[in-house]
């Protein structure tokens, strides 16, 4: 049953990513891929919250598999961030590429750390 739920959650996460990215792209027409940045940072925060809650309450491990691996695995997208960074480099926007790669990494790790800290409270 967990595998089925994991697959359904992954599909839901991919649909959520598609919708969020579309909404952000429609509002912010810039070279910097704000949709992917928002998705990866918010997904890192949510995964951190979930991991912190699981560390606090070990009975949530199957929920972590479904929501963490499934939904958030389908929602977040390292591969798209990588391709968008390469495209920025190819278009001569090396500064934006560096900002995209390093900025996303720092923001996502910071969001994950904040999520773990908040999720561990209680």
**Cα 85–111–33 angle (5° rounding)?**
25
44-70: pLDDT as tens digits: 999 999 999 998 887 777 888 999 999
Q: Cβ(112)–Cβ(48) under 8 Å?
A: yes
pLDDT band at 2 (very low <50, low <70, confident <90, very high): confident
pLDDT at 57: 84
Helix axes 94-120, 34-56, angle to 10 degrees: 20
More confident residue, 56 or 90: 90
Count the Cβ atoms, other than its own, within 10 Å of residue 31.
13
Alpha carbons 13 and 87: distance in angstroms, whole number: 25
Residue pair 68/50 in contact by the 8 Å Cβ criterion: yes
């Amino acid at each position: 049953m967990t595998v089925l739920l994991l697959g359904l959650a992954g599909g839901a996460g991919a649909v959520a990513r598609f919708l969020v990215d579309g909404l952000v792209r429609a509002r912010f027409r810039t070279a910097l891929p704000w949709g992917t940045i928002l998705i990866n940072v918010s997904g890192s925060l949510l995964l951190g919250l979930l991991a912190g809650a699981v560390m606090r309450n070990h009975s949530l491990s199957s929920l972590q598999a479904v929501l963490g691996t499934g939904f958030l695995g389908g929602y977040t997208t390292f591969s798209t961030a990588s391709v968008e960074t390469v495209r920025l480099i190819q278009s001569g926007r090396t500064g934006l590429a560096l900002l995209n790669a390093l900025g996303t990494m720092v923001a996502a790790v910071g969001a994950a750390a904040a999520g773990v800290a908040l999720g561990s409270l209680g």
